Chain A
Amino acid sequence: RKEVEQDPGPFNVPEGATVAFNCTYSNSASQSFFWYRQDCRKEPKLLMSVYSSGNEDGRFTAQLNRASQYISLLIRDSKLSDSATYLCVVRAVSGTYKYIFGTGTRLKVLA
């Protein structure tokens, strides 16, 4: 089983739609969680950290479920510019700075 698993997609959605991605992680001792966005042939860019209480940034909402070991990202009112690959990232365990990336979920927002 991979340490961090994501559905690779692609998710093709119309503009204005709401789309949700899930990511599961295998190590229950994992500490920190993030979503990154990566455009084609570019570097990953931090989208948001994921906190235990859940957090929201504009149209983006992230949730963490430690009991089921998954994190989610919800994008509301999708824009064409949201088309990208969304990477789920987990910092392995306390005392380490090793970050595990999922393979990413591709999103295409269609006009």
Chain B
Amino acid sequence: DTGVSQDPRHKITKRGQNVTFRCDPISEHNRLYWYRQTLGQGPEFLTYFQNEAQLEKSRLLSDRFSAERPKGSFSTLEIQRTEQGDSAMYLCASSLPGQGSYEQYFGPGTRLTVT
């Protein structure tokens, strides 16, 4: 399967714990995005990488959230001191380089439950 993959698919954690999610984009895609989606809402943009550079961050991405893409391939999203309000689906998407290549392809998501 050469699509976007995410790990883990599900994570249950206690409030106050740290969690880290991983995203592996489609291999030739240099653009990578993180989103958060809660029930009944569309995905909300969190951050964007082009290769290893983090070029945009949403104001939603508080200082408890950090994302990296150290070698321009896979990416990690870490949430520190989780809160119940962090419970959501965290989606990763990737897209091709080049002008006009704006179509994004999503991974299956990581569903986070904070108890």
Q: Mark A75-111, 1 if CB is under 8 A from B, else 0.
A: 0000000000001010100001111111110000000
- With A43-B108, A43-B109, A46-B103 known as contacts, the answer to whether A98 contacts B42 (CB < 8 A) is no
Interface size class, chain A: 20 to 34
- Are A99 and B41 in contact, with the CB atoms below 8 A? no
Q: Does A59 contact B (CB under 8 A)?
A: no
Chain B residues, Cβ within 8 Å of A89:
42
Q: Is A22 an interface residue (CB 8 A)?
A: no
Q: Mark B91-106, 1 if CB is under 8 A from A, else 0.
A: 1000000000011111
Which residues of B71-110 have CB atoms within 8 Å of chain A's CB atoms? Answer: 91, 102-109
Asked whether any CB of chain B lies closer than 8 Å to the CB of A42, the reply is yes
The one of A34, A97, A103 that contacts B41, using a Cβ cutoff of 8 Å:
A103
Does A45 belong to the interface (CB within 8 Å)?
Answer: yes
Residues of A within 8 A of B (CB): 4, 8, 31-32, 34, 42-46, 49, 87, 89, 91, 96-104
